[in-house]
Amino acid sequence: MGPLKKIAVLTSGGDAPGMNAAIRAVVRGAIYNKLEVMGVIRGFEGLIENDLIPMDSKSVSNIIQQGGTILKSARSKEFMTKEGRQIAYDNLKQHHIDALIVIGGDGTFTGARVFSQEFNIPTVGIPGTIDNDLYGTDYTIGYDTALNTVIEAVDKIRDTASAHSRLFFIEVMGRDAGFLALRSAIASGAEAVLVPEISTDYKKLDAFLKNSYNKEKSSSIVLVAEGDKISGGAIKVAERVDKEHPDYNVRVTILGHIQRGGSPSAFDRVAASRMGVSAVEALLDDQKSVMIGMVNNEIVYVPFNQALKHKKPLNPRLLELIEILSI
Amino acid sequence: MGPLKKIAVLTSGGDAPGMNAAIRAVVRGAIYNKLEVMGVIRGFEGLIENDLIPMDSKSVSNIIQQGGTILKSARSKEFMTKEGRQIAYDNLKQHHIDALIVIGGDGTFTGARVFSQEFNIPTVGIPGTIDNDLYGTDYTIGYDTALNTVIEAVDKIRDTASAHSRLFFIEVMGRDAGFLALRSAIASGAEAVLVPEISTDYKKLDAFLKNSYNKEKSSSIVLVAEGDKISGGAIKVAERVDKEHPDYNVRVTILGHIQRGGSPSAFDRVAASRMGVSAVEALLDDQKSVMIGMVNNEIVYVPFNQALKHKKPLNPRLLELIEILSI
Amino acid sequence: MGPLKKIAVLTSGGDAPGMNAAIRAVVRGAIYNKLEVMGVIRGFEGLIENDLIPMDSKSVSNIIQQGGTILKSARSKEFMTKEGRQIAYDNLKQHHIDALIVIGGDGTFTGARVFSQEFNIPTVGIPGTIDNDLYGTDYTIGYDTALNTVIEAVDKIRDTASAHSRLFFIEVMGRDAGFLALRSAIASGAEAVLVPEISTDYKKLDAFLKNSYNKEKSSSIVLVAEGDKISGGAIKVAERVDKEHPDYNVRVTILGHIQRGGSPSAFDRVAASRMGVSAVEALLDDQKSVMIGMVNNEIVYVPFNQALKHKKPLNPRLLELIEILSI
Amino acid sequence: MGPLKKIAVLTSGGDAPGMNAAIRAVVRGAIYNKLEVMGVIRGFEGLIENDLIPMDSKSVSNIIQQGGTILKSARSKEFMTKEGRQIAYDNLKQHHIDALIVIGGDGTFTGARVFSQEFNIPTVGIPGTIDNDLYGTDYTIGYDTALNTVIEAVDKIRDTASAHSRLFFIEVMGRDAGFLALRSAIASGAEAVLVPEISTDYKKLDAFLKNSYNKEKSSSIVLVAEGDKISGGAIKVAERVDKEHPDYNVRVTILGHIQRGGSPSAFDRVAASRMGVSAVEALLDDQKSVMIGMVNNEIVYVPFNQALKHKKPLNPRLLELIEILSI
């Protein structure tokens, strides 16, 4: 293959705040390095439908602060088939595109890895997901913004919880991982947290809630990760507690899709800007099938194989912190 | 009865942002007029439990910007009985309190009216509820803040709705009234709104959604007031639409208790400040059983009887506006 | 003149949050009424440079929540000349535009009035300015958002003022009018306010500050309208106080241009939506030279002559409120 | 010395968002470890004035989300004298306090180091400053919140900058360090940044601005750190540019004290919570004169000597990023 001349960028899977900042950094990083760059609309689906647009510096002006993704996102069933990927590849070739940058989560990288190997097309991934569940990077784009969205919501709910001395169970996103729930529990001063990584110890929760109740704390807040299947989510836990302790004044709120939106935080904008430029540099550096990661504030390349194989563990120190701080 | 020397203030029912600003205005308005003032903790419940504290200018420092209520709120069953109210009255007398200012919604005023008449104790109400459903006042304290909370949430959801071309049904508070849903629908650029005052015309909704879908709008958002019992709330409506149009990519979010909290908006802080001082002045002006209202930017006195008897109508012009603007 | 078929819309003068919501409402209101509509880029300047674009429903999608103005704004010297206006008129005619909707403040309406009369072209104004200084309307678009921006800033400054027991003078916008300063002073719990409408009584200010200092209030905040020329703005006032009372721990902050930006508040979005549609209806209603106003929550037509001739007075009741609440 | 039984905590120097979260973590961390804890009001000044209060779990309830510091802060001249420190020490002894935790910046730690050595009183520092200029820790408490405050302000200013095609010079805090300016420049999409660490290359700035102007970028934003003494701050730079290029439409905004306030971000709340508990553990671990740092997401102990001796360098990669992204 000859030297790199033209690349494409797409966003795929669940959207996350900061994806636009990453797109901007990819586009401007490419132009800075004398590469042409095209944007794919609606992820792998758009690649199959040949929905690509040329991008220049101006097409990413004034987007760094916007939530969502100007390239739109989608989940593509057709891309899971060999035939779909062949069409996608043919479209890339038609546009003389040499390499691909994909922004998304593990589903996105699974697709990208297969595609990259099948057609020998260099592909670099940028981790964009509010779940922060990718191995090999300390942070994913969107995670910090989602944390701030959650704590602002919990701050609001605590106003009303305090006014009425209520016990609130609040469900936050995180199908398979408790990162968002755990950190936002610490940051919002929640009294307890339930995460999928640890099976809920009802006796302990019960003892804790009884203790809070007896201390006449003005309110209590428990965060529940949606993916905590054993507990069944916030509604199930709340029903169980309410049944046993009808005097606890229990309420439930499911934060839902507000967690995916909003203007990205400073942290996410800086991370997205660094990762976007680094993704272009990785391609120039002849990388073929890696995710850009950030470890100890430095950029690293993480092979897709590795990022997808391992499960990132929760920091046990943070779990302990919840217990200390709710004393 | 002799001249007014000492008053008490309480918050009752569902809390609303701006209640603290109103408490501050009552306390400082009282002091400015050489009155003593006590705060009752936990509304009518606290009146029965004799949980009162003396308040001075400093006790309301730095609370104008806080959500919730420093006096806490509660719903009191005992106050619905003659015996309960007798205890409450005895407690007031024990503290030499001549008059009462209550901050809350229609439930609060219903209790206050009975109490005021039964014991001939002058009582003035300040309308504090995010529902804006009190007759005789253009605005209630908390309504404007809740509107802003809703539109910020919808702005976030639109980010992700646009990224995925989805149809979102978002449920907002408003058990009996569609004010919050209607205004926030206009302000958030929602494509449609379902309110309890108007029975849902499914044919029209269907035609509208089909039209949107065919126009390939990047996303559609429909606000649903929780109190829309005929439609059954956002979940029921969404299920129905999803069943008929599985291709519409339907999602639901219930905003829940975040709508009651948060730092009050400028509008609510000014309204609460005006109403709080006016409530004190109303007592000095020998009013006995009235709600403070704001009509055409001026303070008015509305007899409890009147405020509770009538139902405030939705502005039909605003309903029409939704239709024009979603073209 | 035949029936109305095609209109143009522009924004001019200082920008204000909610201008985009107004543009959206004009465009969709026009389409709803079967009118064609063009947008003029950069106000009257763009009219002279013939910089117009056709607009449809999609061109105003997803802008209701954006600050600034997608049509851009400018101040045009050329439009102040007869020759400039003739070119502007010729351009309108070339595009077969029958009428004009202008969004801005008094400078904008002064130009629009002359233009409208000179060429007999029906022109309707929408009041968009954070200063709220237009006669004939209770509110102008952008005012409520600016109020919220100011109080959020003052809330932040109070954190640090309280931590250090400082006296802060904070300058807010308002060249000729103290509306923004006065209302935001009430809403932020400021201890005093200096506005251009009232000459600063230094003795009173001094007595007040001395009193605060002796009471050991944890902090004091005084808002100063930039247009308060007699006092010379926040810096001059602060210097004077600091010189006389070096022990007061004085600080100054000038809020500046952040007050013009930001996502519009719910109030401003609803007002802009109503006014935008009403402006189109005013043209259909054969109005020729009026501003859309909002009085007592209802839309009114205010002749430019009247809106520009009178000065809107401050509400004396609000000035009194500051004094009561800072007791 | 016997085993640790009682400690005191204070905040000193410029306040920073997250200080309250740190106080809460110190207090609860102490209680969790069976220690008594007192709070000192107004920093070292309060230590000399013997202004201490006992603290329990409830006294730090509901403060994690508040800006400022409930313990207040001050700069103390008397503590710089041997006599002052002797009084402070005597007061500590009178209360049977064995060790001290101080939250602040380099001025605070300089005082703490002397005090600790002079009287052999174990003292642990928690880095709380928006400047992020302490050696030995990746982050200081308040830095992330200040970054978010700055970018929200710049987002607002960009609205109006874009509407008018203006060039804005915006001054941010940072007397001796450009961390805040540099990161917020990246995060807000600023076109250039001037920091004290690097002497301003006016030729380069000029060439850059000329290029932007010729490209007809809709607006340009340059961030200037206040401590950039060579350039003289934003006003001086703006005057110089305006003089040479009167056609550039130059404006200046000095963000000022809003940068110190506000509810802390999720990042700062988590960091403060971890550091607060770790400070208690450091004392239990027999540390005597160290700052708690966070390096690569792990807690480290940094001797005061080291933290104060070295100057933390800017990341050159981030400076380069600005150039790439403003292409």
Predicted ipTM of the assembly: 0.95
Looking at residue A175, its pLDDT comes to 79
Q: According to the model, what pLDDT value does residue D9 have? A: 98
CA gap B42, D300 in Å, rounded: 46
pLDDT band at A204 (very low <50, low <70, confident <90, very high): confident
Residue D154 in domain: yes
**pLDDT (tens digit, 9 = 90+) per residue, A114-128?**
999 999 999 999 999
pLDDT at D7: 98
d(CA B295, CA B297): 5
Write phi, then psi, for B278 (nearest 5 degrees): -65, -30
Q: What pLDDT is attached to residue C310?
A: 85
Catalytic choice (B98, B131, B133, B228)? B131
Q: Do B270 and C144 touch (CB under 8 A)?
A: no
Compute the 3-state secondary structure of chain B and give helix, strand, coil in percent, each to the nearest 5: 45, 20, 35
Residues of B in contact with C24 (CB under 8 A): 189, 325
Report the alpha-carbon distance of residue A200 to residue A192 in Å, rounded.
Answer: 11
In a domain, C273, yes or no: yes
For residues D14 and D137, state if they share a domain: yes
Binding site annotation covers D128?
A: no
**Three-class DSSP category at A95:** coil
Region for A47 from its dihedrals, namely left if φ exceeds 0, alpha if ψ lies in -120 to 50, beta otherwise: alpha
**B positions 229-258 inside 8 Å of A (CB):** 251-258
pLDDT band at A216 (very low <50, low <70, confident <90, very high): low
Contact status, residue A34 vs residue A93, Cβ threshold 8 Å: no
Q: Which of D25, D31, D265 sits opposite A265 (nearest CB)?
A: D265
User: Which residues, in sequence order, are bridge partners of residue B99?
Assistant: B7
Q: Specify the pLDDT at position D227.
A: 76
* Cα dihedral across residues C84, C86, C89, C94: positive or negative: negative
CATH of the domain at D93: 3.40.50.450
Percentage of chain B surpassing pLDDT 70? Answer: 97
pLDDT of D232 reads 76
Q: Per this entry, what is the length of chain A?
A: 327
Tokens of C250: 């004085």
C136 and C12 both lie in a single domain: yes
d(CA B123, CA B304): 10
Compute the residue count for chain D: 327
C-alpha span between B273 and C186 (Å, rounded): 8
Question: When comparing pLDDT for B255 and B211, which is higher?
Answer: B255
Rounded to the nearest angstrom, the minimum Cα separation between B33 and chain C is: 9
What is the distance in angstroms between the Cα of C156 and the nearest Cα belonging to chain D? Answer: 4
- Describe the crossing of helices B19-32 and B266-284 by its angle, rounded to 10 degrees: 40
B156: nearest CB among A67, A161, A162: A67
Binding-site residues of B: 14, 24-28, 75-76, 105-108, 129-131, 158, 166, 173-175, 189-191, 215, 217-219, 226, 251, 257-260
Name the catalytic one among C51, C56, C98, C131. Answer: C131
Three-state DSSP at C192 gives strand
Contacts of A166 (CB under 8 A, 6+ apart): A160, A219, A220, A249, A250, A251
Q: Do D159 and C261 touch (CB under 8 A)?
A: yes
Burial string for C278-298 (b: 16+ CB within 10 Å, else e) reads bbbbbbbeebbbbbbbbeebe
- pLDDT 10s digits, C60-108: 999 999 999 999 999 899 999 999 999 999 999 999 999 999 999 999 9
CB C228 within 8 A of CB C199: no
pLDDT digits (tens, 9 = 90+) for A18-44: 999 999 999 999 999 999 999 999 999
Do residues A125 and A112 touch, judged by C-beta distance below 8 A?
Answer: yes
Which of B157-161, B227-231, D29-33 is modeled with the greatest confidence? D29-33
User: Do B73 and B123 belong to one domain?
Assistant: yes
Confidence band for A228, pLDDT divided at 50, 70 and 90? low
Phi, psi angles (nearest 5°) of residue C91: -65, -40
Helix, strand or coil for residue A199?
coil
Does any CB of chain B come closer than 8 Å to the CB of residue C267? yes
Q: How far is B326 from chain C (nearest CA, A)?
A: 8
Closest Cβ opposite residue A253 in set B17, B69, B257: B257
pLDDT at D205: 84
Residue D101 and residue D221 in one domain: no
User: D45 to chain C nearest CA, in Å?
Assistant: 12
Q: Distances from the Cα of A227 to the Cαs of A167, A255, C242, in angstroms?
A: 21, 14, 59
**Phi, psi of D221, rounded to the nearest 5 degrees:** -130, 130
Residue C205 · residue C190 · CB < 8 Å: no
Q: What is the CATH number of the domain that holds B207?
A: 3.40.50.460
C87 is in an annotated binding site: no
Q: Please, which residues 150-179 of chain B have a Cβ atom closer than 8 Å to chain C? A: 150-151, 155, 158, 162
Checking if the pLDDT of A148 tops 90, the result is: yes
Q: Pick from D257, B281, A266, D220: which is nearest to C161 by CA?
A: D257
The whole-chain average pLDDT of chain C stands at 93
- Angle among Cα B149, B152, B153 to the nearest 5 degrees reads 85
Average pLDDT, chain D: 93
Position of tokens 């730079």?
D237
Q: Give the number of beta-carbon pairs within 8 Å between B and C.
A: 123
Chains that touch B (3 or more CB pairs under 8 A): A, C
D135 and D269, same domain (yes or no): yes
Interface test with chain A among D321, D322, D323, D326, by most A beta carbons within 10 Å: D321
Examine the pLDDT at C213 and tell me if it is beyond 80: no
Which percentage of chain C shows pLDDT scores above 70?
A: 97
Cβ contact, residue pair C157, D258, below 8 Å: yes
pLDDT band at A79 (very low <50, low <70, confident <90, very high): very high
Report phi then psi at A123, rounded to 5: -140, 130
Residues 6+ apart with CB under 8 A from A51: A40, A41, A42
Determine the distance in angstroms separating the CA of C5 from the nearest CA of chain D, rounded to an integer.
29
pLDDT attached to residue A1: 56
Residue whose C-alpha is closest to residue B138's, from B183, B74, B170, B94 = B183
What residues of D are in contact with residue C164 (Cβ under 8 Å)? Answer: 15, 72-74
Is C26 a known ligand-binding residue?
A: yes
Q: Is there a catalytic annotation at residue A131?
A: yes
Same domain, C128 and C194: no
The answer to whether the Cβ–Cβ distance between A270 and D148 falls below 8 Å is: no
C298: three-class secondary structure by DSSP: strand
The pLDDT value given to residue B216: 65
- Best C44, C70, C159 member to test D by mutation, with max D CBs in 10 Å, is C159
Among the listed ranges A206-220, A276-290, C251-265, C304-318, which one has the minimum average pLDDT value?
A: A206-220
The alpha carbon of residue C3 is apart from the nearest alpha carbon of chain D, in Å, by 33
Long-range contacts of B114-121 (CB under 8 A, 24+ apart): B114/B85, B115/B79, B115/B85, B115/B88, B115/B89, B116/B288, B116/B289, B116/B304, B117/B289, B118/B82, B118/B85, B118/B89, B119/B85, B119/B89, B120/B288, B121/B89, B121/B92
Beta strands in chain C (DSSP E): 6-11, 36-40, 52-54, 99-104, 123-127, 167-172, 192-194, 220-225, 250-254, 289-295, 298-303
Report DSSP state, residue C128: B
Compute the C-alpha angle A35/A37/A40, nearest 5°: 160
Sign of the dihedral through C-alpha A96, A99, A103, A109: positive
Can you tell me the distance from the alpha carbon of D19 to that of D142, in angstroms, rounded to the nearest whole number? 8
d(CA C322, CA A192): 43
Q: Are residues D190 and D246 in the same domain?
A: yes
For CA atoms C106, C108, C109, C113, the dihedral sign is: positive
Q: Measured between beta carbons, which residues in chain B are less than 8 angstroms from residue A262?
A: 155-156, 159
Listed range (A292-301, B42-51, C221-230) with the worst mean pLDDT = C221-230
Distance from CA of A12 to the nearest CA of D (A): 23
Instruction: Assess whether D30 and D148 both reside in one domain.
Output: no
Nearest to B67 among A156, A218, A255 (CB): A156
Same structural domain, D42 and D116: yes
The secondary structure of residue A128, as a DSSP letter, is B
Reduced to 3 states, what is the DSSP secondary structure of residue A89? helix
Spatial CB neighbours of C195, under 8 Å, sequence gap ≥ 6: C174, C177, C178, C181, C182, C225, C228, C314
Residue with tokens 């710089």: D80
User: What pLDDT score does A140 carry?
Assistant: 97
Provide the pLDDT for residue B228: 65
Is the residue at B316 inside a domain? no
Nearest to A29 among D155, D296, D324 (CB): D324
3-state secondary structure of B291: strand
Find how far residue D325's CA is from the centre of its chain: 27
A273 contacts on D by Cβ (under 8 Å): 186-187, 321, 325
List of chain A residues whose C-beta atoms are within 8 Å of the C-beta of residue D28: 324-327
**Percent residues over pLDDT 90 in chain A:** 78
Contacts with D260 from chain C: Cβ below 8 Å: 156, 159-160
Average pLDDT over residues A274-280: 98
Q: Which of A202, A236, A260 is the last residue of a domain?
A: A260
With CB atoms and an 8 Å threshold, state whether C186 touches B155. no
So what's the pLDDT on residue C228?
Answer: 65
Share above pLDDT 90 across residues of chain B, in percent, rounded to a whole number? 77
Instruction: Answer for the pair B309, B106: CB distance below 8 angstroms, yes or no.
Output: no
Instruction: Tell me which chains share at least 3 CB pairs under 8 Å with chain A.
Output: B, D
Do residues B324 and C32 make contact, with C-beta atoms less than 8 angstroms apart? yes
A185: Cβ contacts below 8 Å, ≥ 6 apart: A192, A193, A223, A322
Residue D192 pLDDT grade (very low, low, confident, very high; cuts 50, 70, 90): very high
Tell me how crowded residue A306 is: count the other CB atoms within 10 A of its CB.
14
Catalytic residue among A15, A98, A131, A133: A131
User: Do D234 and D283 have their domain in common?
Assistant: no
Would you say residue A261 has pLDDT above 80?
A: yes
Q: How far is B221 from chain C (nearest CA, A)?
A: 12
Whether C1 has a pLDDT exceeding 60, the answer reads no
> What's the domain range around D15?
6-142+264-309
Residue B326 is assigned to a structural domain of this protein: no
Distance separating alpha carbons of residues A196 and A181, to the nearest angstrom: 10
Helix/strand/coil for D189: coil
pLDDT at residue B101, as a whole number:
98
Do residue D149 and residue C160 have CB atoms under 8 angstroms apart? no
pLDDT band per the 50, 70, 90 thresholds, residue D229:
low
Strand order in the sheet with D6-11: D52-54, D36-40, D6-11, D99-104, D123-127, D289-295, D298-303
- Contact D254/C254, CB-based, under 8 Å? yes
Boundary-marking domain end, from A202, A235, A260: A260
* Model pLDDT for residues B190-213, shown as the tens digit of each residue: 999 999 888 877 888 888 888 877
pLDDT, tens digit, for every residue of B26-52?
A: 999 999 999 999 999 999 999 999 999
Final residue of a domain: which of A239, A260, A281? A260
Q: Are residues B116 and B15 in the same domain?
A: yes
- Max alpha carbon distance in chain A (Å)? 73
pLDDT range class, residue D1, cuts 50, 70, 90: low
| Residues from chain C contacting residue B55 (CB–CB below 8 Å) | none
D113 is in an annotated binding site: no
The percent of residues above 90 in pLDDT, for chain C, comes to 78
% of residues, chain A, pLDDT over 70:
97
Q: Is C72 on the interface with D (CB under 8 A)?
A: yes
Nearest CA to B205 out of B222, B183, B229 is that of: B222
Query: How many domains are contained in chain C?
Result: 2
**Which candidate in D15, D56, D90, D131 is catalytic?**
D131
Three-state SS string across A23-52, please? HHHHHHHHHHCCCEEEEECCHHHHHHCCCE
Residue D190: list chain A partners with CB under 8 A.
none
When CB atoms are compared, the residue of B157, B158, B261 closest to A156 is B261
Residue D139 has pLDDT above 70, yes or no: yes
| Same domain? A150 vs A249 | yes
Q: What is the pLDDT of residue D212?
A: 77
Cβ pair C186:B273 closer than 8 A: yes
Higher pLDDT, A228 or D163: D163
The answer to whether residue B38 is domain-embedded is yes
